[in-house]
Amino acid sequence: MLDSNKLNLNLQLQRIALLIQYDGKNYCGWQRQPHQITIQGVLEEAISSLDILNSPKLVAAGRTDSGVHASGQVAHFDCSKSIPAYRWSLALNGRLPKSIRIRDSVLQSSNWHACHSATFRRYRYLIYNGCRPNLFVAPWSWHRYQYRLDEGLINAALKGIVGLHDFTAFQKAGSKRSNAITNIQEALLLREGDLLHLEIQATGFLYGMVRLLVGQLVALGEHKITLHEFERRWKGKLRGEVKESAPARGLSLIRVGYKNKIFPENIIFDSFPIFSLSTNDSPPLP
Protein backbone atom coordinates (compact mmCIF):
# COMPACT_ATOMS: atom_id res chain seq x y z
CA MET A 1 0.00 0.00 0.00
CA LEU A 2 1.27 3.46 -0.84
CA ASP A 3 2.25 5.61 2.16
CA SER A 4 1.16 9.14 1.16
CA ASN A 5 3.10 10.70 4.05
CA LYS A 6 6.38 9.23 2.77
CA LEU A 7 5.57 10.16 -0.82
CA ASN A 8 4.95 13.77 0.22
CA LEU A 9 8.63 14.06 1.15
CA ASN A 10 9.67 13.28 -2.41
CA LEU A 11 7.00 15.20 -4.30
CA GLN A 12 7.90 18.35 -6.16
CA LEU A 13 5.11 20.71 -5.22
CA GLN A 14 3.77 23.80 -6.92
CA ARG A 15 1.64 26.54 -5.35
CA ILE A 16 -1.69 27.26 -7.02
CA ALA A 17 -3.75 30.40 -6.41
CA LEU A 18 -7.51 30.15 -6.94
CA LEU A 19 -10.08 32.88 -7.54
CA ILE A 20 -13.31 31.53 -6.07
CA GLN A 21 -17.00 32.36 -6.12
CA TYR A 22 -19.57 30.76 -3.85
CA ASP A 23 -23.16 31.07 -2.76
CA GLY A 24 -22.76 30.66 0.98
CA LYS A 25 -26.37 30.14 2.04
CA ASN A 26 -26.10 26.36 2.43
CA TYR A 27 -22.62 26.31 3.97
CA CYS A 28 -21.39 26.72 7.54
CA GLY A 29 -18.84 29.31 6.49
CA TRP A 30 -15.42 28.90 4.94
CA GLN A 31 -13.45 27.04 7.59
CA ARG A 32 -13.54 23.26 7.77
CA GLN A 33 -15.55 22.01 10.78
CA PRO A 34 -16.33 18.50 12.03
CA HIS A 35 -19.71 17.19 10.82
CA GLN A 36 -20.47 20.43 8.95
CA ILE A 37 -20.54 21.28 5.24
CA THR A 38 -18.10 24.13 4.60
CA ILE A 39 -16.55 25.78 1.55
CA GLN A 40 -13.03 24.74 2.54
CA GLY A 41 -14.09 21.17 3.21
CA VAL A 42 -15.86 20.74 -0.15
CA LEU A 43 -12.97 22.32 -2.06
CA GLU A 44 -10.28 20.27 -0.32
CA GLU A 45 -12.14 17.06 -1.09
CA ALA A 46 -12.32 18.03 -4.77
CA ILE A 47 -8.62 18.93 -4.84
CA SER A 48 -7.63 15.67 -3.12
CA SER A 49 -9.59 13.66 -5.69
CA LEU A 50 -7.33 15.12 -8.39
CA ASP A 51 -4.07 14.91 -6.43
CA ILE A 52 -4.33 11.52 -4.72
CA LEU A 53 -0.66 11.35 -3.64
CA ASN A 54 -0.97 14.56 -1.68
CA SER A 55 -3.39 15.96 0.92
CA PRO A 56 -3.51 19.67 0.06
CA LYS A 57 -4.70 22.20 2.63
CA LEU A 58 -6.47 25.21 1.18
CA VAL A 59 -5.57 28.59 2.74
CA ALA A 60 -7.99 31.49 2.17
CA ALA A 61 -7.49 35.25 2.17
CA GLY A 62 -10.48 35.58 4.53
CA ARG A 63 -12.64 33.17 6.50
CA THR A 64 -16.22 34.09 5.67
CA ASP A 65 -18.94 33.24 8.21
CA SER A 66 -21.89 30.92 7.80
CA GLY A 67 -24.23 32.11 5.04
CA VAL A 68 -21.83 34.76 3.69
CA HIS A 69 -21.08 34.75 -0.05
CA ALA A 70 -17.95 35.46 -2.07
CA SER A 71 -17.40 36.60 -5.63
CA GLY A 72 -13.66 37.24 -5.29
CA GLN A 73 -12.30 34.95 -2.59
CA VAL A 74 -8.64 33.99 -3.07
CA ALA A 75 -7.01 30.85 -1.73
CA HIS A 76 -3.90 28.76 -2.33
CA PHE A 77 -2.79 25.16 -1.99
CA ASP A 78 0.36 23.16 -2.75
CA CYS A 79 0.05 20.21 -5.09
CA SER A 80 2.09 17.88 -7.23
CA LYS A 81 3.00 19.03 -10.73
CA SER A 82 0.85 16.47 -12.50
CA ILE A 83 -1.74 19.10 -13.51
CA PRO A 84 -0.73 22.45 -15.07
CA ALA A 85 -1.83 25.45 -13.01
CA TYR A 86 -4.24 26.84 -15.61
CA ARG A 87 -6.11 23.53 -15.84
CA TRP A 88 -7.01 23.35 -12.16
CA SER A 89 -9.99 25.69 -12.55
CA LEU A 90 -11.58 23.55 -15.25
CA ALA A 91 -10.81 20.29 -13.44
CA LEU A 92 -12.24 21.49 -10.14
CA ASN A 93 -15.40 22.98 -11.65
CA GLY A 94 -16.20 19.55 -13.04
CA ARG A 95 -16.17 18.15 -9.50
CA LEU A 96 -17.71 20.95 -7.48
CA PRO A 97 -21.39 21.70 -6.74
CA LYS A 98 -22.88 24.53 -8.76
CA SER A 99 -22.84 26.77 -5.69
CA ILE A 100 -19.00 26.93 -5.88
CA ARG A 101 -17.11 28.05 -9.00
CA ILE A 102 -13.41 28.57 -9.68
CA ARG A 103 -12.95 31.68 -11.84
CA ASP A 104 -9.23 31.20 -12.43
CA SER A 105 -6.19 29.24 -11.28
CA VAL A 106 -2.60 30.49 -11.59
CA LEU A 107 0.86 29.42 -10.55
CA GLN A 108 2.51 31.33 -7.69
CA SER A 109 5.90 31.18 -5.97
CA SER A 110 6.21 29.10 -2.81
CA ASN A 111 6.60 32.20 -0.62
CA TRP A 112 3.35 33.80 -1.85
CA HIS A 113 0.49 33.42 0.64
CA ALA A 114 -3.20 34.04 -0.06
CA CYS A 115 -3.75 35.52 3.42
CA HIS A 116 -0.42 36.99 4.53
CA SER A 117 0.42 38.54 1.15
CA ALA A 118 -2.94 40.32 0.87
CA THR A 119 -2.96 44.12 1.19
CA PHE A 120 -6.75 44.47 1.51
CA ARG A 121 -10.09 42.69 1.57
CA ARG A 122 -13.20 44.35 0.19
CA TYR A 123 -16.75 43.43 1.18
CA ARG A 124 -20.07 44.55 -0.25
CA TYR A 125 -23.34 44.52 1.65
CA LEU A 126 -26.51 44.72 -0.42
CA ILE A 127 -29.65 46.27 1.08
CA TYR A 128 -33.00 46.17 -0.73
CA ASN A 129 -34.89 49.30 0.31
CA GLY A 130 -38.13 48.82 -1.65
CA CYS A 131 -41.44 48.45 0.20
CA ARG A 132 -42.56 45.42 -1.87
CA PRO A 133 -40.87 42.00 -1.75
CA ASN A 134 -38.65 40.95 -4.66
CA LEU A 135 -37.96 37.24 -5.01
CA PHE A 136 -34.93 37.65 -7.25
CA VAL A 137 -32.84 39.89 -4.99
CA ALA A 138 -33.92 38.25 -1.72
CA PRO A 139 -31.10 35.63 -1.58
CA TRP A 140 -28.42 38.34 -1.82
CA SER A 141 -29.85 41.22 0.17
CA TRP A 142 -31.35 42.43 3.44
CA HIS A 143 -34.87 43.74 2.84
CA ARG A 144 -35.48 46.94 4.83
CA TYR A 145 -38.85 48.26 3.74
CA GLN A 146 -40.28 50.37 6.57
CA TYR A 147 -38.43 53.58 5.69
CA ARG A 148 -36.33 55.00 2.89
CA LEU A 149 -32.83 54.82 4.28
CA ASP A 150 -31.05 58.16 4.61
CA GLU A 151 -27.91 57.44 2.56
CA GLY A 152 -26.52 60.92 3.21
CA LEU A 153 -26.48 60.26 6.93
CA ILE A 154 -24.96 56.79 6.43
CA ASN A 155 -22.19 58.21 4.21
CA ALA A 156 -21.43 60.82 6.88
CA ALA A 157 -20.96 58.01 9.39
CA LEU A 158 -18.78 56.04 6.97
CA LYS A 159 -16.37 58.96 6.54
CA GLY A 160 -15.69 58.91 10.26
CA ILE A 161 -14.63 55.25 10.42
CA VAL A 162 -12.02 55.45 7.63
CA GLY A 163 -8.50 55.08 8.99
CA LEU A 164 -6.73 53.14 11.73
CA HIS A 165 -9.07 52.71 14.70
CA ASP A 166 -10.05 50.36 17.52
CA PHE A 167 -13.32 48.71 16.47
CA THR A 168 -14.01 46.70 19.63
CA ALA A 169 -17.67 47.73 19.35
CA PHE A 170 -17.95 45.82 16.07
CA GLN A 171 -16.29 42.56 17.12
CA LYS A 172 -18.30 39.48 18.01
CA ALA A 173 -17.41 37.41 21.05
CA GLY A 174 -15.09 34.48 20.39
CA SER A 175 -12.41 36.35 18.44
CA LYS A 176 -8.84 35.17 19.00
CA ARG A 177 -7.25 38.49 18.00
CA SER A 178 -5.12 40.23 20.61
CA ASN A 179 -6.67 43.62 19.75
CA ALA A 180 -9.47 45.14 17.69
CA ILE A 181 -7.39 47.67 15.77
CA THR A 182 -7.78 47.61 11.98
CA ASN A 183 -7.31 50.01 9.09
CA ILE A 184 -10.39 50.81 7.00
CA GLN A 185 -9.08 52.10 3.68
CA GLU A 186 -12.40 52.98 2.04
CA ALA A 187 -16.09 52.97 2.95
CA LEU A 188 -18.91 54.16 0.73
CA LEU A 189 -22.60 53.74 -0.01
CA LEU A 190 -24.09 53.76 -3.52
CA ARG A 191 -27.83 53.84 -4.21
CA GLU A 192 -29.21 52.33 -7.42
CA GLY A 193 -32.96 52.81 -7.24
CA ASP A 194 -34.17 50.68 -4.32
CA LEU A 195 -30.82 48.90 -3.91
CA LEU A 196 -28.06 50.20 -1.68
CA HIS A 197 -24.54 48.86 -2.14
CA LEU A 198 -22.35 49.36 0.91
CA GLU A 199 -18.66 48.67 0.23
CA ILE A 200 -15.96 48.53 2.88
CA GLN A 201 -12.28 47.88 2.22
CA ALA A 202 -9.75 47.22 4.97
CA THR A 203 -6.43 45.55 5.59
CA GLY A 204 -8.34 43.01 7.63
CA PHE A 205 -11.69 42.55 9.37
CA LEU A 206 -12.66 41.52 12.88
CA TYR A 207 -14.92 38.56 13.58
CA GLY A 208 -18.47 39.61 12.63
CA MET A 209 -17.36 43.20 12.06
CA VAL A 210 -19.16 44.07 8.83
CA ARG A 211 -22.53 42.68 9.88
CA LEU A 212 -22.47 44.49 13.23
CA LEU A 213 -21.42 47.71 11.49
CA VAL A 214 -24.19 47.40 8.89
CA GLY A 215 -26.74 46.81 11.62
CA GLN A 216 -25.76 50.11 13.24
CA LEU A 217 -25.72 51.96 9.92
CA VAL A 218 -29.22 50.77 9.06
CA ALA A 219 -30.47 51.90 12.47
CA LEU A 220 -28.85 55.26 11.73
CA GLY A 221 -30.33 55.43 8.23
CA GLU A 222 -33.80 54.73 9.64
CA HIS A 223 -33.28 57.53 12.21
CA LYS A 224 -33.52 55.07 15.12
CA ILE A 225 -30.17 56.34 16.42
CA THR A 226 -28.39 59.63 15.82
CA LEU A 227 -24.99 60.15 14.23
CA HIS A 228 -23.73 61.21 17.65
CA GLU A 229 -24.99 57.96 19.16
CA PHE A 230 -23.37 55.90 16.39
CA GLU A 231 -20.01 57.60 16.98
CA ARG A 232 -20.31 57.38 20.76
CA ARG A 233 -20.81 53.63 20.57
CA TRP A 234 -17.88 52.74 18.36
CA LYS A 235 -15.42 55.34 19.64
CA GLY A 236 -16.29 54.42 23.22
CA LYS A 237 -15.87 50.69 22.46
CA LEU A 238 -19.40 50.10 23.79
CA ARG A 239 -19.85 46.57 22.47
CA GLY A 240 -22.76 45.95 24.81
CA GLU A 241 -24.82 48.65 23.10
CA VAL A 242 -24.26 47.28 19.59
CA LYS A 243 -27.03 44.70 19.40
CA GLU A 244 -28.20 44.86 15.78
CA SER A 245 -26.38 42.49 13.40
CA ALA A 246 -27.27 42.41 9.71
CA PRO A 247 -28.14 38.97 8.25
CA ALA A 248 -25.41 37.02 6.47
CA ARG A 249 -27.19 36.76 3.12
CA GLY A 250 -26.50 40.39 2.14
CA LEU A 251 -22.73 40.13 2.61
CA SER A 252 -20.17 39.14 -0.04
CA LEU A 253 -16.39 39.16 -0.15
CA ILE A 254 -15.89 40.77 -3.57
CA ARG A 255 -12.16 41.41 -3.87
CA VAL A 256 -8.76 40.71 -2.32
CA GLY A 257 -5.80 42.94 -3.18
CA TYR A 258 -2.12 42.08 -3.58
CA LYS A 259 1.00 44.09 -4.28
CA ASN A 260 1.48 42.29 -7.57
CA LYS A 261 -1.36 41.43 -9.95
CA ILE A 262 -2.46 37.82 -9.52
CA PHE A 263 -5.52 37.52 -11.78
CA PRO A 264 -6.60 39.51 -14.88
CA GLU A 265 -8.64 42.57 -13.92
CA ASN A 266 -11.58 41.69 -16.17
CA ILE A 267 -11.99 38.41 -14.28
CA ILE A 268 -11.91 40.15 -10.89
CA PHE A 269 -14.02 43.22 -11.50
CA ASP A 270 -16.96 41.71 -13.38
CA SER A 271 -17.52 38.91 -10.90
CA PHE A 272 -20.23 40.66 -8.83
CA PRO A 273 -22.20 43.22 -10.85
CA ILE A 274 -23.80 46.34 -9.39
CA PHE A 275 -27.50 45.52 -9.56
CA SER A 276 -30.05 48.21 -10.29
CA LEU A 277 -33.82 48.41 -9.90
CA SER A 278 -35.23 51.07 -12.19
CA THR A 279 -38.38 51.76 -10.16
CA ASN A 280 -38.40 53.28 -6.72
CA ASP A 281 -41.39 52.44 -4.55
CA SER A 282 -39.95 53.25 -1.13
CA PRO A 283 -42.10 55.37 1.18
CA PRO A 284 -40.80 58.80 2.23
CA LEU A 285 -39.09 59.20 5.55
CA PRO A 286 -41.59 59.94 8.33
Neighbours of 120 (CB within 10 A): 17
Rounded to whole angstroms, what are the CA distances from 40 to 47, 75, 99, 173, 188?
10, 10, 13, 23, 30
Candidate list 23, 65, 104, 194, residue with the active-site label: 65
Per the annotation, the verdict on 65 as an active-site residue is yes
Listed in sequence order, the residues at least 6 apart from 256 whose beta carbon sits closer than 8 Å to its beta carbon are 61, 62, 72, 73, 74, 114, 118, 120, 121, 122
Those residues with Cβ within 8 angstroms of residue 161's Cβ, 6 or more apart along the chain or in another chain: 167, 184, 187, 213, 234
Please answer whether residues 271 and 72 qualify as being in contact, where contact means their C-beta atoms are separated by less than 8 angstroms. yes
Residue 284 is given by DSSP the state: P
CA 85 to chain centre: 24
Q: Mention every residue, 6+ apart, whose C-beta is less than 8 A from residue 285.
A: 147, 148, 150, 223
Terminal alpha carbon distance of the chain: 73
Catalytic residues: 65
